[in-house]
Structure 1
Amino acid sequence: MGEAGVPVRRGAGRPTREQAAARHEELLETALDLFLENGFDVTTVEMIASRVNMTKRTIYARYPEKSALFLAAVHRAVDGQIVPPEVLEQLDTGDLKQTLEAVARLRIDQVMTPNGLRLQRIINTEGYRFPEIFVANYERSAGPVIDFVAGVLDRAIDAGTIAPIDTDQAARAFMSMVVGGQVRSIVAGRPPSAAQLEERVEFTVRLLLDGLRPR
């Protein structure tokens, strides 16, 4: 209280750590939207600053170049697609067919999320300019899932369920067929129906397992 009991008005002060983090997330979210809407060349830091009600100086203090902001926004989207190891482990029921189908459904569902769609579209449109975003998406998002599938296939070989094979190549081929085959339609805005997706997942898993059956 001030003189005569009059309350002292406090200024807004510095934002809390949580508020600052939320504003940074908003910046990256908005930046990715604008890069996707307008392309990297047309999108400017001024446009992004205006959309999030920040000053250019604030943004440049953290990202000296537009490309740095772009990459940070894409890496954030990649992080949103990472499947935690414990989630993958929960998909392994001990039944090879069920496990492979569950992995396929998980990855397709991820592509169909708003974040998954934006990530795929920005990779498609700007990947030629920033090839490192392909690498980041594979190493941190797709790669661990492929490694998990390869591990599941390794255990199936040990159990005699499937014939010996290069499980890394088999896992890559499987994910390409079952997920990559759907991504193009989904990203183009023509997603298969739930029934079609289920049919395609089951068909691809059956095709893989028929090819890997011990002879």
Structure 2
Amino acid sequence: MQNRSAPPRRGAGRPTREQAEARHEELLDAALDLFLERGFELATIEMIAARVSMTKRTVYARHPDKAALFRAAVQRAIERHVVPREVLESLDDGDLADTLVAIGRLRIDQVMTPNGLRLQRIINTESYRFPEIFASNVEQSARPVVDFVAGLLDRAIAAGEVAPTNTGLAASTFMSMVVGGQARAIVRGETPTREELDEKVRFTVHLLLDGLRPR
């Protein structure tokens, strides 16, 4: 009888691009966790590599030093916090108050996610050392939302719904009021109930629109 040999087993080989990217994202997540747990000074490349079962050589192949790894980890968190334009547009139902409430809720909900909490905490603790991470978060994550809200106000002015104003300043102030205070409480562990959040968001929206009402 003919002896049929089993097909040769595939070796582990090189990881696919998708596998390599997944491992890199795992590294960045672990790095951010350790930078939060230990602080930038005390966290080491050895600790981070060990947490994801990598060698230091593998880490250094992607990031030349600890500061570069820190910046990359924070940048990943910022990118995950960005609201795509199409998501913002999907919240616009034509009613200014309802749309502003939906945007406020969305941004607060983002803060309460694991990624949102880590991002806020790392900015709070390390932006004195890396001021660029605060600026990057504003420009990449906050600014597009502010610009979208300013556009909503521009449309409302054109329709005569609100009085002419500096819409960029109004939008920035609104987002700071509706999100900033809630974010600080949430990061401290003082998470409000859904009813409390809704009440505060609606109050802030009504405060803005009452102030901008044509007289």
How high is the TM-score relative to the length of structure 2?
Answer: 0.96
1:90-120 CA-to-partner distances (Å, cap 9, x unmatched) read 1111111101101100100000111000000
User: Who is 1:198 aligned against?
Assistant: 198
Gaps of 5+ in 1: none
Gaps of 5+ in 2: none
User: Who is 1:181 aligned against?
Assistant: 181
1:141-185 CA-to-partner distances (Å, cap 9, x unmatched) read 110000000000000000000000000000011001110010110
Aligned equivalents of 1:70, 1:14: Cα separation in 2: 27
User: Who is 1:67 aligned against?
Assistant: 67
User: Who is 2:116 aligned against?
Assistant: 116
Correspondences of 1:11-50 after superposition (within 5 Å)? 11-50=11-50
1:169 aligns with 2:169: yes
Correspondences of 1:95-110 after superposition (within 5 Å)? 95-110=95-110
User: Alpha-carbon deviation of 1:6?
Assistant: 6.0
Aligned equivalents of 1:56, 1:189: Cα separation in 2: 34
User: Alpha-carbon deviation of 1:9?
Assistant: 4.4
User: Who is 1:160 aligned against?
Assistant: 160
Aligned equivalents of 2:143, 2:83: Cα separation in 1: 10
Report the number of matched residues.
213
Correspondences of 1:132-151 after superposition (within 5 Å)? 132-151=132-151
User: Alpha-carbon deviation of 1:135?
Assistant: 1.1
Change (3 A) 1:61 1:214: same
1:40-84 CA-to-partner distances (Å, cap 9, x unmatched) read 000000000111111101111111110000000000000001111
1:120-141 CA-to-partner distances (Å, cap 9, x unmatched) read 0000000110011111111111
Amino acid of the residue matched to residue 211 of structure 1? G
Amino acid of the residue matched to residue 72 of structure 2? A
